[in-house]
Homo-oligomer: A and B are copies of this chain.
Amino acid sequence: MFHDQVIEPDPDALVAFLDEHLRDGRMVVQVVAECEVVYHGRAASVADAGDYVVMVKSDGSLQVHGYKGVKPVNWQPQTDDVWVGIEDGQAVLLAERRSPEEMVRIVFLETALAQALHLREGSGFVLMGSEAEMQRALASAPELIEPGLAVLDRELPTDVGGIDLFGRGADGSLVVVELKRAKATQEAVHQLGRYVTRVRELTGEPVRGVLAAPTISKPALAALARHQLVFCEVTALPEPEAAFAQPGLFDGA
């Protein structure tokens, strides 16, 4: 898993280390260093000298992390080429990508540490509470939306977008359901309104619109009312499941 490491390498040693391990397509390579980072592609950015953790994963994706935040300061999804070399006596890493054409260039000013890791692929990963899961659950139990609702379609495509759930109510009218796994915003209301209008135009039948989500923002609820649409509370995760919190087992901070 942990493979190789050099501490405070000089530029030549760093380049040699990177060159060796970046060629090996199974390695995740990290460099902890004071560096400058330049990006040019979809946008462009310059980061002046600062301390960062540079991580190049085995798929060629690259990220430059600062001292805070989940998001890297700079990054690049799966690159096509990563080159290293010496320029003006300093180690430089250049990552390039076609489609879109972009590049990240890192100058290592002072390197604290470089390491190569071999991370074996995880054996399994399951995510619960996605919108897709909600959609399946509601398709099998449409009474959670309204009594007597019969689901006719899921992801029904129209020229203004895909309708999450499409059905017919107990009153005989068509029902368009827009689903959100998190709090619904005005944008979701606009989406729903667009679908309802279009289905009315296409069918000439009475159409009702339902926004199904765990919660809804106050402005969105007001907008719903204006458009004579309905909110329906549905949760993405079935149970709160308080099974994990185990106070007393951990040392308090």
A residues contacting B by CB (< 8 A) are 1-2, 7-8, 15, 19, 22-23, 26, 28, 30, 32-34, 38, 40, 42-53, 55, 57-59, 61-63, 65-70, 72-73, 75-77, 81-85, 87, 92, 94, 103, 105, 110, 112-113, 115, 117-130, 159-161, 181-182, 186, 190, 194, 223, 236-237, 241, 244-246, 249-253
Copies of this protein in the complex: 2
Instruction: Enumerate chain B residues within 8 angstroms of A236, measured Cβ to Cβ.
Output: 42-43
A121 and B50 contact, Cβ closer than 8 Å, known pairs A2-B7, A59-B68? yes
Q: Are B68 and A1 in contact (CB under 8 A)?
A: no
Extra contacts besides A53-B117, A190-B190 (12): CB < 8 Å:
A1-B32, A1-B110, A1-B112, A2-B113, A42-B182, A45-B127, A61-B69, A66-B122, A67-B119, A67-B121, A83-B253, A103-B245
Q: How far is the CA of A220 from the CA of B212 in the complex (A)?
A: 27
Q: Are B45 and A57 in contact (CB under 8 A)?
A: no
Q: Which residue of chain B has its CB nearest to the CB of A88? A: B249
Q: List 20 A-B contacts (CB under 8 A).
A: A1-B32, A2-B112, A2-B113, A15-B251, A28-B53, A28-B65, A43-B129, A43-B130, A44-B237, A47-B122, A47-B125, A48-B123, A50-B119, A55-B65, A57-B68, A70-B72, A70-B75, A83-B250, A92-B249, A103-B245
Q: Are B123 and A44 in contact (CB under 8 A)?
A: no
Q: How far is the CA of A253 from the CA of B236 in the complex (A)?
A: 47
Q: Are A250 and B85 in contact (CB under 8 A)?
A: yes
Q: Are B48 and A129 in contact (CB under 8 A)?
A: no
Q: Are A1 and B34 in contact (CB under 8 A)?
A: yes
Q: Which 4 A-B pairs have the closest CB atoms?
A: A50-B122, A2-B112, A43-B129, A83-B250
A40 and B244 contact, Cβ closer than 8 Å, known pairs A53-B117, A113-B2, A194-B190? yes
CB distance from A147 to the nearest CB of B (A): 28
Q: Which residue of chain B has its CB nearest to the CB of A237? A: B44
Instruction: Enumerate chain B residues within 8 angstroms of A68, measured Cβ to Cβ.
Output: 57-59, 61
Q: Are B127 and A44 in contact (CB under 8 A)?
A: yes
